[in-house]
Structure 1
Amino acid sequence: MIGHFPRANTLELIGNTPLVLLQGPSEAAGCEIYGKCEFANPGASVKDRAALGIIRDAEARGDLTDGGTIVEGTAGNTGIGIALVANALGYKTIIVMPDNQSSEKMATLRALGAELVLVPPTKFSDCNHFVHTSRRLAQETEGAIWANQFDNTANRKAHIDGTAAELWEQLEGRIDGFTCAAGTGGTIAGVGMGLKAFDDSVQIALTDPHGAALYSYYAEGELRSEGSSVAEGIGQGRITANLEGAPIDTQFRISDEEGLDWVARLLREEGLCLGLSSGINVAGAIALGKQLVDSGRENPRVATILCDTGFRYLSSLYNREWLEAKGLPVFEWLRD
């Protein structure tokens, strides 16, 4: 069974994460809602999978050799995964990150020994965007590769071969729907492709935060954003290589407020401390579950991704002053 065997090395700790039935979301949806516990990876996020897949692919192609350096632009979690995998394999790491991401992510990357380069947040069209900056650094660094998580399809392959297959096994071949938000698009596309290969009737839904453009793209065929979100690591304004051909059947747009409500409920009612992307995913899973129930599916099962740990956001999501400054609701237990 998944998770019940010794690992030959530490990299085998990545993946094979637990799946849990979420009681409150299941009750709200009127069907079974499951969360894939990606915070159980060594780097405490789903991005460990992409990190390992990208690095192993670069090794197989001969692009990454002994003593080499991996350079990547990231909101933080992919960088953490890359740093851990690189440490285990003897590589160096340079991470470029927008300076508005959580201080916990920055401190973690420095603690892992990565060289951290912070840049101001800007639009992708700006040559100083963190992705473009990381590409230039890779070109300028001897013996370096650029991980390129957004357009390197080794990212989504890690989810086709890993995450999707695990979900299929854990749910014993009975899964009716899957949803999650998109950052690079690797998870939603890879899991979607993998599950569709098992059963084409599985419904794949994009759950998009406000401020991202994919909801309108899949709903209307046009990349157009509305509003904004404080969620880190999700939200996309273009069709990345990982998203090309993604089998998206339907789409939902979820507000930060709704996502935060589920972050609060999952902590207080079920003992799970999660980030906002997980709350948004869970809200999307409930929406998909209700849609499947309304369509007549009998006792549908929906799975989503619990992306990372809430301990990575103690200075933001779990901080009263930060929430108030963003105009977001403060968790009840933080009010006094």
Structure 2
Amino acid sequence: MAPVRATGAIVGVAAIFVSVAFSFYICDRRSKSSSLKTRSTSSKKKSRMGLVDAIGNTPLIRINSLSDATGCEIFGKCEFLNPGGSVKDRVAVKIIEEALSSGQLRPGGIVTEGSVGSTAISLATVAPAYGCKCHLVIPDDVAIEKAQTIEALGATVEKVRPVSITHKDHFVNVARRRASEANELMLEQRNKLQLNGGNIKPINVYRSDEDRHSSALSTDCQGGFFADQFENLANFRAHFDGTGPEIWEQTNGKLDAFVAGAGTGGTLAGVSRFLQEKNTKIKCFLIDPPGSGLFYKVTRGVMYTKQEAEGKRLKNPFDTITEGIGCNRITKNFMMAKVDGAFQATDMEAVEMSRFLLKNDGLFLGSSSAMNCVGAVRVAQSLGPGHTIVTILCDSGMRHLSRFHNPQYLSQLGLTPKATGLEFLGIK
């Protein structure tokens, strides 16, 4: 995705608006806190009410090998244990619940989203619990098992070629169009309803076979809703209301740092905001993969990547096999983050980390989880021994078999792991 350059003035004004909105949200949240039951409360029940209630309250585990090697206490939040297999389950629930509550989405409506996989899987998992359908648009180069999983969950999958976010056929922009098409169809149907013996009979108004396939519409279409995970602040709220409080409770408030990668920015933003509201001394860090400009935004104040240097700007500058994190634009969710610093990591480090954790801890993790663990070690090295650090184990390696955990694929890219320990991070 090509970077979207913004002037300091524009970013500054946008940040003010976001901060004001956040302040109103905090006030509203506190005023209602006494009357609302949180998911943490419901987790204390012996049983949970359905799929949605099983999301969240994931275990926080000590990653023994990394803790012993660094002299810090390094913990991972096991988000891969959510029903849909990733941290994005939280976001899917929050987005759909808020959309239904606001009337932007109706039961029977179609939720559309552009995703590299995890959010798509989570939406496909959660939507049926709310009586909704899913149409999901993904790049055609993501791990094949992700598309297979989405289809198995009953959602419609539309694959598109990877292009810049500014291109009309970027997967996010296509998903936005699909929601508009569903809403247009709903209006057409309502305008062409016929009374038949006192019954309302919908008329088939498909405009073409292409519409039928690409939008997964039906003659009883209830409209569409674009989830917009990058800009929809329900993403941030899912982690501010859920993940952050859980980490605080599970550590008894005794932690020194939190680190995570950012794609949409929702996890990093929600958790960092909550933790630093509880204790301003808690440091929050970004770990960024190759090709992403967020590291430079945090450390230098400007978006920049090596791929843009010397007139070498590319339509799709990402050169990482890490799926789900990294971005070359500032999203509304990322703007909510309170980050104290950032680290960069390589694909090789992520691959080596995933194999190290599997061998030493029995943790079979996906690419973004491995990258987060690299970040946890970087933070430990930066702060020194004796600190408590938390990161996110986003998903398992099960949905990364064709790429990140495929020896042949890695060999072609020169990423065959060779380390016997943590020497790839300077630890002997």
The residue that corresponds to 1:249 in the other structure is 340
Match of 1:49 among 74, 86, 90: 90
Structure 1 residue 171, shift from structure 2 partner: 0.3
Count of aligned positions: 329
SS of the residue aligned with 2:68?
A: helix
SS of the residue aligned with 2:284?
A: strand
The residue that corresponds to 1:306 in the other structure is 393
The residue that corresponds to 1:225 in the other structure is 305
SS of the residue aligned with 1:166?
A: helix
Q: Distance in 2 between matches of 1:327 and 1:135?
A: 37
The residue that corresponds to 2:215 in the other structure is none
Kindly provide the CA deviation profile for residues 83-132 of structure 1, in whole angstroms up to 9, marking residues without a partner as x. 11111111010000000000110000000000000000111121111111
Give, as a single letter, the amino acid of the residue that structure 1 aligns with 2:293. A
Q: Establish whether residue 123 from structure 1 lines up as the match of residue 164 from structure 2.
A: yes
Q: Comparing 233-242 with 317-326, which one deviates more in the overlay?
A: 317-326
SS of the residue aligned with 2:332?
A: coil
Q: Distance in 2 between matches of 1:323 and 1:221?
A: 34
Root mean square deviation, CA, Å: 1.6
The residue that corresponds to 2:371 in the other structure is 280
Q: Distance in 2 between matches of 1:300 and 1:238?
A: 32
The residue that corresponds to 1:76 in the other structure is 117
**Aligned partners of 1:31 and 1:300 also within 8 Å:** yes
Unaligned runs of 5+ in 1: none
The residue that corresponds to 1:269 in the other structure is 360
**Aligned partners of 1:96 and 1:134 also within 8 Å:** yes
Moved over 4 A (4+): 1-4, 330-333
Q: Distance in 2 between matches of 1:283 and 1:96?
A: 30
The residue that corresponds to 1:25 in the other structure is 66
Match of 2:150 among 109, 115, 119: 109
Q: Distance in 2 between matches of 1:196 and 1:221?
A: 21
**Aligned partners of 1:79 and 1:95 also within 8 Å:** yes
Structure 1 residue 4, shift from structure 2 partner: 5.1
Q: Establish whether residue 148 from structure 1 lines up as the match of residue 228 from structure 2.
A: yes
**Aligned partners of 2:352 and 2:417 also within 8 Å:** no
Structure 1 residue 186, shift from structure 2 partner: 0.3
The residue that corresponds to 1:179 in the other structure is 259
TM-score by length of 2: 0.75
Q: Establish whether residue 93 from structure 1 lines up as the match of residue 134 from structure 2.
A: yes
Unaligned runs of 5+ in 2: 1-39, 184-222, 308-318, 421-428
Q: Distance in 1 between matches of 2:379 and 2:405?
A: 28
**Aligned partners of 2:240 and 2:273 also within 8 Å:** yes
TM-score by length of 1: 0.95
Larger radius of gyration: 2
Kindly provide the CA deviation profile for residues 234-261 of structure 1, in whole angstroms up to 9, marking residues without a partner as x. 1110110101131010100011111111
The residue that corresponds to 2:243 in the other structure is 163
The residue that corresponds to 1:320 in the other structure is 407
**Aligned partners of 1:223 and 1:237 also within 8 Å:** yes
Structure 1 residue 331, shift from structure 2 partner: 6.8
Q: Distance in 1 between matches of 2:365 and 2:60?
A: 15
Q: Distance in 2 between matches of 1:125 and 1:237?
A: 11
Structure 1 residue 330, shift from structure 2 partner: 4.2
**Aligned partners of 2:143 and 2:402 also within 8 Å:** yes
Kindly provide the CA deviation profile for residues 278-323 of structure 1, in whole angstroms up to 9, marking residues without a partner as x. 11100101111222227xxxx2100000010101111112222111
Give, as a single letter, the amino acid of the residue that structure 2 aligns with 1:183. G
Q: Distance in 1 between matches of 2:368 and 2:50?
A: 30
Kindly provide the CA deviation profile for residues 160-201 of structure 1, in whole angstroms up to 9, marking residues without a partner as x. 000000000000110110010001000001110011111111
Q: Distance in 1 between matches of 2:322 and 2:238?
A: 23
SS of the residue aligned with 1:242?
A: helix
